[in-house]
Amino acid sequence: MSSTRSSNSAVQWHNMHSAQRNRRQCELGALFAFLVATTVQGNDCTLDDDIFKDHDTSNGATIPDACTALRLNGVKLGVEGGVAIANALKTNTKLVKLELHGNKIMDSAAFVLADALKVNKVLEEVVVGANLIGDAGASALADALKVNTALTLLSLGESSVGVIGATALAGALKVNTGLKKLLLWDNRLGNAGVTALAEGLKANKAIQVLSLRMNGIGNEGAIALAEALKVNHVVEEIHLGLNNIGDEGIASLAACLKEHNTGLKDMDLGINNIQDWATQNEIHTTLAERSRSPEEL
């Protein structure tokens, strides 16, 4: 009796997961059928979670030639969908902006996306945050940045990136000449990860905006960034809010701006462990003066 019950349970489990897999294939087919058939308004294709309700299934993934901006945020692509979109990028020559935020594409799809970025020469902006790509996915994308010169924005917020991923990205920054915005908010960089990135910034001549909010950065990380900003005058914005930077870190950043750096125009320091408000206000005053137009001076 027990053996029969176990056998029936196994069959039920198999049938349930087969049904889920078939439904997943239908959902992805519906998405790609839409991408093939749609008339894109203003070259901008934005889809939401309702896309699966009104379209039949189809095989294959194709991005319409008319589409230059594709936004698929939170549409439950999963690994299969992420891989399919990434593979389509290998031959697409029109898409400029791609957003896949919050789709759980995982590191498997990030690997394929990295391969696509090594050959794609037109894509300029990629948003793949909240996808659990981790250090492995970030490292693969960093490897692609060593040869890709078209990408100007990479957003990896909420991606579980730690020291390993940050170190790989730092290596890419040393040779990449095209990326202008690197968004790494809400990750696990810590002082060690930010120190690694700072080393990359010392050699980089392209990054203008760097977001490091919510990364557990303390004084050590802030001091490392200050050292990098002594030689890097290209970075214009750094977002350091919601970290653990204290007075020692803020003092190093203030001294750097006063004595060395002339390029930075904006630094977000909101919600840290700073008690020295005078020094923080000094930073804000310095940056505000730099940001004023010639007509305002």
Q: What is the pLDDT of residues 153-165, one digit of tens each?
A: 999 999 999 999 9
Do residues 73 and 47 make contact, with C-beta atoms less than 8 angstroms apart? no
The span from the CA of 141 to the CA of 136, in Å, is 9
Sorted by where each begins, the domain ranges of the chain are 2-296
* Cα–Cα distance list, 176 to 44, 56, 198 (Å): 28, 42, 15
The span from the CA of 97 to the CA of 86, in Å, is 13
* Cα–Cα distance list, 197 to 104, 149, 170, 201 (Å): 26, 19, 5, 6
For 197-237, the pLDDT digits (tens) are 999 999 999 999 999 999 999 999 999 999 999 999 999 99
pLDDT at residue number 100: 94
CA-only gyration radius of the chain, Å: 23
pLDDT at residue number 134: 98
pLDDT at residue number 10: 52
Q: Walk along the chain (297 residues) and give the pLDDT tens digit of each residue.
A: 555 555 555 545 445 555 555 455 445 544 554 454 443 344 666 665 444 444 333 444 566 667 788 888 888 888 888 888 898 899 889 899 999 999 999 999 999 999 999 999 999 999 999 999 999 999 999 999 999 999 999 999 999 999 999 999 999 999 999 999 999 999 999 999 999 999 999 999 999 999 999 999 999 999 999 999 999 999 999 999 999 999 999 999 999 999 999 999 999 999 999 999 999 999 999 999 998 855 554
pLDDT at residue number 33: 42
In this structure, whether the domain defined by 2-296 belongs to CATH 3.40.630.10 is answered with no
User: Would you call 238 helix, strand, or coil by DSSP?
Assistant: strand
Give the predicted TM-score (pTM) of the model.
0.85
pLDDT at residue number 68: 86
Helix (H) or strand (E) holding 20: helix 2-37
Our CA dihedral for 81, 86, 91, 97, rounded to 10 degrees, sits at 100
